[in-house]
Amino acid sequence: MKLAIFSLAASMLIATVVGMPAASPEALSRRNIPPKPSEDSFYANPAGFESAAPGTILKNRNLPSTIAAFGLIPANIKYTQQILYRTTNALGDPASAVATILIPYNADYTSLLSYQIAEDAASINCSPSYALQFASDSGGFVGTIVTQLEWLLIQAALEQGWPVVLPDHEGLNATFLANYAGGKHVLDGIRAALASESFTGIKSDASVAMWGYSGGSLVSAAASELKDSYAPELNIVAAVLGGPIPNINNALYTLNQGLFAGLIPDGILGLSNAYPALETMVQEGLKSSKKAKFNTAYDTCLGASALNFALQNMFSYFDDAQGLLAEAVPSGILANNSLGHSTPSVPIFMYKSILDEIDSISYSDKLYKTYCNGGAKVKYVRDLISEHGTLAAFGAPKALTFLAKAFNGETVVSKCTKTNTLSSLLDISTAQVLPSFLKDTILNLLYKPVGPFLIG
């Protein structure tokens, strides 16, 4: 939903390959239907996990089913693994989360990309660790379409040779919008991936970068802010924040009665999963005639919620929505999970559509100023003719170029810069990256080994 059409090229690619016999017999043999996380014992905390240090691997396993584009087309990845690892929740208590580690062919084990998918849901069954597998349930009609579309970006990163860790950054309780807990889940997922060398090959001292768009950018930004205090030992060389939504409270008013109003119940219930006091207030504040409909967001994924609540006045579901938002507990939670509480030391590339319909560009401008006034180094690009969904695709080549330079040890940003561009598609870096991106996408859907092609 938040990626919208993603790009015309992606749609054409899907149309081209659907129905083709792309998979090998070995891949077909792995096409098992995976259990939902809510029914899968791997997602349960082992006894005594609380005593483990954050980032400790608690369990690991082969995936129940193969990774598959759009849930249908198996991906030929060299090695995949799931880990359950110790982390910290929004209340500061011990928690755990699952991450998926992907190793491409011809991998560079000295680099690691943590990619944060925009899950944006209040159900554990929308977790990326599950949604990217063959034959996973979508959580309602087109429920996990954003996750499926973001797979194209993840593949593009794997084509660079970078191992990728995909954390379920909402944790086992699906705490969407608990951004700083999500930031800790990201950092601990990185710690766990770096501790996995014995079975993944990733070097324990690998250089690390983070990338997320929209909902994924929120926890990537929070992780950048938390890095120095929570995980100072990590060598994070860059963070890419696409389409950020810095102020949650303001976004509620922008989203209400719009095409993306379904993000409101997803977000409110996600925060309710993180904060029991808020859950009580929300359920007591809902109108009895509308409570059941609102709470369907506990069981559906992002795309389905978008369709279920599009154009609706979500405030009308409450007896007094604005009064509820003004109370100390909800207003404090929204403020505490909005971005800008500390200054990242990580070099940042941030890109946002000037016409973004999810969140006003002014709030990203303010976040840029906040970071830069604190001494951060931020490259900020404002795109004129895109909108929130299309910029996910249009901005990806520049993001990949930024990440590649950071992994190569180049200085990617030495001071804060803010520029406007007509379209990121017109940038020279896009011209350099896009042809190979499209070619690799087609070939990967035809079961090409995912990773850089090397001779000799």
Annotation marks residue 40 as catalytic: no
Annotation marks residue 356 as catalytic: yes
Q: How many whole angstroms separate alpha carbon 219 and alpha carbon 180?
A: 7
In which residue are the tokens 């089913």 written? 65
Q: How many whole angstroms separate alpha carbon 444 and alpha carbon 148?
A: 14
Choice among 388, 424, 427, 440 that is catalytic: 388
Would you mind telling me the total number of residues written for the chain in this entry? Answer: 456
Annotation marks residue 388 as catalytic: yes
To the nearest 10°, report the CA torsion of 100, 106, 112, 114. -40
Choice among 168, 356, 383, 427 that is catalytic: 356
Choice among 207, 214, 224, 364 that is catalytic: 214
- Catalytically annotated residues: 214, 356, 388
